[in-house]
Chains A and B, each alone.
Chain A
């Protein structure tokens, strides 16, 4: 079982719709959760971080974390063609008992927003 799993997609949504991206993780003790956006040929760009159960909103983006279900999601409201990219879920696993910044990434979900 992979440590962080995402559906590779592509996920196609019409412009203006809500895009829902999902991620599951295997380490129940994971502490920190991140969503990155990566355009083709570019480096990952941090969209959201979430550390506690519930929702966190930032503009058109909402991250949702459910530690009991080991599930984190990203909702993109009013999707735009410029949102078309690969979205990477990243987790800090509990093995880092001494602290540190080691991110374990999923393989990413490709999002296509169609006109």
Chain B
């Protein structure tokens, strides 16, 4: 079974721009969660989508948003990028509530 895929793998943007990251979950998985990982804050939960609905949300500003499509693929968007948004953005998929989450390779975002 193919794992979670994320595109692009690397991105360089400048402050004020916006960015869209994409995630394709493991086939059959309907839950997709997004996390941000930085050296200072560690791994932090952004949001989770299940059946095209946002089910949980972390403590991030409204500049961070996401959506899920009918095929369970998900995108997250960050608008008005700030230097502090530089991070590894990870997507994880799961087949059931409270079951194992499997991470994709991540998208490394650098904001200049």
What residues make up the interface of A, taking CB atoms closer than 8 Å to B?
31-32, 34, 36, 42-46, 49, 51, 88, 90, 92, 96, 98-108
Contact = CB atoms under 8 A, between A and B. Distances in A.
Contacts of B27: none
30 contacts: A32-B98, A32-B99, A34-B100, A42-B105, A43-B90, A43-B104, A43-B105, A45-B103, A51-B98, A88-B43, A90-B43, A100-B31, A100-B50, A100-B55, A100-B56, A100-B97, A100-B98, A101-B31, A101-B50, A101-B55, A101-B94, A101-B99, A102-B33, A103-B33, A103-B35, A103-B45, A103-B92, A104-B45, A105-B44, A106-B42
Contacts, number: 70
B78 to A, nearest CB: 19
A92 B17 CA distance: 34
Interface in B96-111: 97-106
Interface residues of B, number: 26
A56 to B, nearest CB: 13
Contacts of A105: 42-44
B59 to A, nearest CB: 11
